Chains A and B, each alone.
Chain A
Amino acid sequence: MMTAAPRPAAEARRNARPIYLDYQATTPVDPRVLEAMLPWFTEKFGNPGSVTHAYGREAEAAVESARGQVAALIGAEPREIVFTSGATESNNLALKGAARFHREDRDRVVTLATEHKCVLESAHALEREGFRVTILPVPLDGLVDLAALEAALDERTAIVSVMAAHNEIGVLQPLAGIGALCRARGILFHTDAAQAFGKIPLDVDVMSIDLLSVSGHKVYGPKGVGALYVRRRPRARLTPLVDGGGQERGLRSGSLPTPLIVGLGEAAEIAAREMTEEATRLRTLRERFLAGIRVAVPSVRLNGDPVRRLPANLNLTFPGVGALELIEACPGLALSTGSACTAAEVEPSYVLRAIGVSDELARSTLRIGLGRFTSERDVDFAVDALGEAVGRLQAKPVKTQSGASI
């Protein structure tokens, strides 16, 4: 299917902008989202808190409409949505807020070794406050072992936090199974759905989710905005991180950024409409990518469960080739080794280490994120470029100790 010789189309691409293959780090703002946002910066600029006048009420109505759009995508009620500055804040609020509220009767927090840094850091901050934190190991497929999770739960457990879709290895956790375990024990179930929201179907009732974090910029919305779903029945109670004007039912004070919230709402609505079709298209592209790269580089390894993963994510190890060298050798592609937060670090991914990938192989690993604006031609070009570069680098003497030369 793939040929080694560059196609004319691929040839023409070489001088164009690099192909963006880092959709897990951030997504471009969808032009329809941008269009919806712009009027709220200028002519409709009122503070949604200023309900005593027309501009304020107009902004308030826009915020409430967006709240409905976000809620609809996860089967929630609008008043269960709290707007935040992003998924990091949502995750901090969910973990710290829930744990601190329940401190008296439940002092235990359970999460996974592969969670996002902001979940793990929040858990560690709680540990310093005297909470008991259990961080469960994760097997090679990246999926939580439900029996091990069940064994870790007790009557002192306040909250369990498990990421819905993984930002590096793309795996989809069995949310309904985790939710059922938690619900039966009166434990709050939080899921960081920054990568999953708008990409795969989520239903807070079916999955027994109590708290769910959303990010704007991972779903073709703007940066600087996110949301936390907070269940009302049975009520998930939180201690707020930020107090003040009492916005968001006291859970998150601060003037609401109307344009950003409108953008998140629009992004959610587009996802609700197009997610199924888009997921099918992306899954096909992902499989095309994987098939192509396996032909070009037979030694390539896929990390994380091959089926239960995000439609558009691949996490690939190219044994014997340093990931950073490979990125450098592919100037036509925007690639990453893993989480953007730690992209500048030379340390191998803690996520790969947690699922048992050796440091040597982790240093040879790339995260490939396809998305809404990736075309079949982009995939073919990327496969050719990567295959060619791997071939060139493999021909060079292998650096055994530090594959990741700068």
Chain B
Amino acid sequence: MSTLAYLDWNATAPVRPEVVEAMSEALRCTGNPSSVHRWGRAARQAIERARAQVAALVGAAPAEVIFTSGGTEANHLALRGVHEHRVLISTIEHESVRAAVAGATLIPVTREGVVDLAALEALLAAEDQPAVVSIMLANNETGAIQSVAEAAAIARRHRALLHCDAIQGAGKIPVDFRALGADLLSISAHKLGGPPGVGALVARDGVPLSPLQRGGGQERGRRAGTENLPGIVGFGVAAELAGRESLPSAGIAELRDAAEAALTAAAPEARVFGKTVQRLPNTLCIGMPGVAASTQVMALDLAGVMVSAGAACSSGKVRRSHVLAAMGASAVEAESAIRVSLGWSTTVAEIEQLVAAWTVLYRRTRSAAA
């Protein structure tokens, strides 16, 4: 009770100490990166260093990286900036992709939450119009990893562009812009140990993109506004750290699997969403049958365990997850699912705290029902 267990890393992650150090220094530097005096030039150099660091994390060229205010803006810039007639998105995309375009064609997913590639092929074949396809690298609620490279190959055959929202995947699994074959790729700093308020859109050289935000012509005219210098510097350092740990996730996967085993041992009828497919090593989406997610989250909060009932976003309203609905979950099933997400500093003790609190709640509701 006295200690807190933070298990909501997919909502946001603490900023890494090295990042804070670099940012503190940058925050003490004055200088607008567009100014030509030496302070401005120093700021410009720091930004270009960070651009190279972020590019390296995803195997892109520095010139392909456009800094934005975060993942939501990057997704908007990608989908609204390309002006294709037709936009196809999967049914499990993040709200920031779903909201970016009205009337997008939806690509269904399987019961385990991976995009149905045959359906994508059929949808693209059905209409011969310039199109952009948006498929996330890994789902934020279930952690299910998508077949982005295969989807990109299909898109290419139909002369469609592919955008990949890699916000939840970057830093957790390796990302290679070229190997994925994506034309556009969104990432966010605060999901990988960097600060909130900064993200990037990686745009393949030659992809036509018109800006959302106009003004001073920063980011080579693709994103106006004085650059968030400390944020960008922090993003760069976080990207470098994330890239250096080639498999940061081995220990995390073990902890996640231990949590999953303990919870399903306590409640054998609990459904683990995306259990049979490749998932992010840190994510567990599990339903406690018959108990509303809001009840679970509250009970866990009282026990000092912080998880979520889906995406963090707006309001704390616990809404029925569109992701789980798309996977064919019934309303009751979807409303009973919580998301547990781990990070580099997660401990065995935190997992034990979760398992204990969740099991107590489960037994209490069982005995109340009996």
Q: Flag the segment in B212-220, B272-280, B327-335 that touches A.
A: B212-220
Binary per-residue interface labels of chain A (21-42) against chain B in the complex, 1 for a CB within 8 Å, 0 otherwise? 0100111110000100110011
- Evaluate contact between A55 and B306: CB separation under 8 angstroms: yes
List the A side residues contacting B262 at CB < 8 Å: none
Whether the pair A42, B100 counts as a contact (CB closer than 8 A) is no
Q: Which residue of B lies closest to A242 (CB)?
A: B76
Bits for A214-255, please: 1 = Cβ < 8 Å to B, else 0: 010100001111000000000000000111111100100111
Closest to B316 in A: A51
Interchain Cβ contacts under 8 Å between A and B, 26 examples: A25-B32, A29-B28, A41-B20, A45-B15, A46-B12, A47-B11, A47-B196, A49-B11, A49-B315, A50-B8, A52-B318, A55-B4, A55-B6, A88-B215, A217-B226, A222-B27, A223-B229, A225-B228, A241-B76, A241-B213, A242-B76, A242-B96, A257-B70, A259-B197, A260-B231, A340-B40
Query: Cβ of B308 and Cβ of A117 under 8 Å apart?
Result: no
Partner of A29, one of B27, B34, B100: B27
Number of interface residues of A (CB under 8 A): 73
Contact of A242 with B73 at beta-carbon distance under 8 Å, contacts A18-B38, A52-B297, A223-B228 already known: yes
A91–B225 CA distance with the chains assembled, in angstroms: 10
Instruction: Tell which of B97, B224, B231 touches A224, judged by Cβ atoms closer than 8 Å.
Output: B231
Q: Write out the residue numbers on chain B whose beta carbons fall within 8 Å of the beta carbon of A242.
A: 72-73, 76, 96, 212
> A-facing mask of B286-330, CB < 8 A → 1, else 0?
000000001001101100101111011111101000000000000
| Residue A302 interfacial (CB < 8 Å) | no
Q: By the criterion CB–CB under 8 Å, are B196 and A121 in contact? A: no
Smallest CB–CB gap between B314 and chain A, Å?
4
Most central of A50, A119, A124 by chain B CB within 10 Å? A50
- Interface size (B, Cβ < 8 Å)? 79
B13 within 8 Å of A (CB atoms): yes
CA distance A38 to B301 in the complex (A): 25
**Nearest chain A CB to B87's CB is how many angstroms away?**
14
Considering the chains assembled together, what is the distance between the CA atoms of A52 and B32 in angstroms? 38
**Is A118 a contact of B214 with CB atoms below 8 Å?**
yes
- A interface list, Cβ under 8 A from B: 18, 20, 22, 25-29, 34, 37-38, 41-43, 45-47, 49-56, 84-89, 91-92, 116-119, 121-122, 124-125, 215, 217, 222-225, 241-247, 250, 253-260, 327, 334-336, 339-344
Check B215–A121 contact: CB distance below 8 A: yes
- Chain B residues lying within 8 Å of A341, measured Cβ to Cβ, are 34, 215-218, 224, 226
Query: Per DSSP, are chain B's interface residues mostly helix, strand or loop, or mixed?
Result: loop
- Give the Cβ gap from B177 to chain A, nearest Cβ, in Å: 23
Q: Which 5 A-B pairs have the closest CB atoms?
A: A224-B228, A118-B215, A341-B216, A257-B197, A245-B313
Cβ contact within 8 Å between B312 and A88:
no
- Chain B proximity of A405: nearest CB distance (Å): 15
CB distance from A3 to the nearest CB of B (A): 27
Complex contact B224–A88 (CB within 8 A): yes
CA gap between A181 and B217 in the complex, in Å: 33
In the complex, A22 Cα to B17 Cα: how many Å? Answer: 32
Select which of A43, A53, A125, A254 is within 8 A of B73 by beta carbon: A254
Judging by beta carbons under 8 Å apart, are B37 and A18 in contact? yes
- Complex contact B298–A225 (CB within 8 A): no
In the complex, chain A residues whose CB is within 8 Å of the CB of B224 = 88, 92, 117-118, 121, 341
> Does B365 count as interface, using CB distance less than 8 angstroms?
no
Q: Is B35 an interface residue (CB 8 A)?
A: yes
B265 to chain A, nearest CB (A): 25
Which A residues are CB-close (under 8 A) to B215?
A: 88, 91-92, 116-119, 121-122, 341
A258 to chain B, nearest CB (A): 6
Which of the listed residues B17, B37, B72 has the most CB atoms from chain A within 10 Å of its own CB? B37
In the assembled complex, B75 has its CB within 8 A of some CB on chain A = yes
**Minimal beta-carbon separation of B54 from chain A (angstroms):** 15
Among B38, B212, B225, B228, which residue has its beta carbon within 8 angstroms of that of A241? B212
* Contact assessment for B17 and A42 in the assembled complex, using a CB-CB cutoff below 8 Å: yes
Q: How far, in Å, is B215 (CB) from chain A's closest CB? A: 3
Please state if B73 and A85 are interface contacts (CB–CB under 8 Å).
Answer: yes
Q: Given the complex of chains A and B, what is the CA–CA distance between A250 and B314 in angstroms?
A: 8
B227 within 8 A of A: yes
Contact between B11 and A56 (Cβ–Cβ < 8 Å)? yes
Alpha-carbon distance A322/B307, docked complex (angstroms): 62
Indicate whether B51 reaches chain A with its CB closer than 8 angstroms: no
Q: Given contacts A20-B39, A25-B35, A85-B228, is CB(A53)–CB(B72) below 8 Å?
A: no
**Cα(A42)–Cα(B215), bound, Å:** 33
B225–A50 CB distance below 8 A: no
Q: Report the Cα distance A45→B20, complex, angstroms.
A: 12
CA of A41 to CA of B21, assembled, Å = 11
* C-alpha gap A27/B212 in the complex (Å): 26
Contacts A86-B225, A259-B196: A37 and B27 contacting too (C-beta < 8 A)? Answer: yes
Which residues from A are CB-within-8-Å of B30? Answer: 20, 26-28
Residues of chain A contacted by B174 (CB below 8 angstroms): none
Please state if A41 and B15 are interface contacts (CB–CB under 8 Å). Answer: yes
Q: Are A243 and B312 in contact (CB under 8 A)?
A: no
Q: Does B66 contact A (CB under 8 A)?
A: no
The reply to whether B72 and A245 contact each other, CB–CB distance below 8 Å, is yes
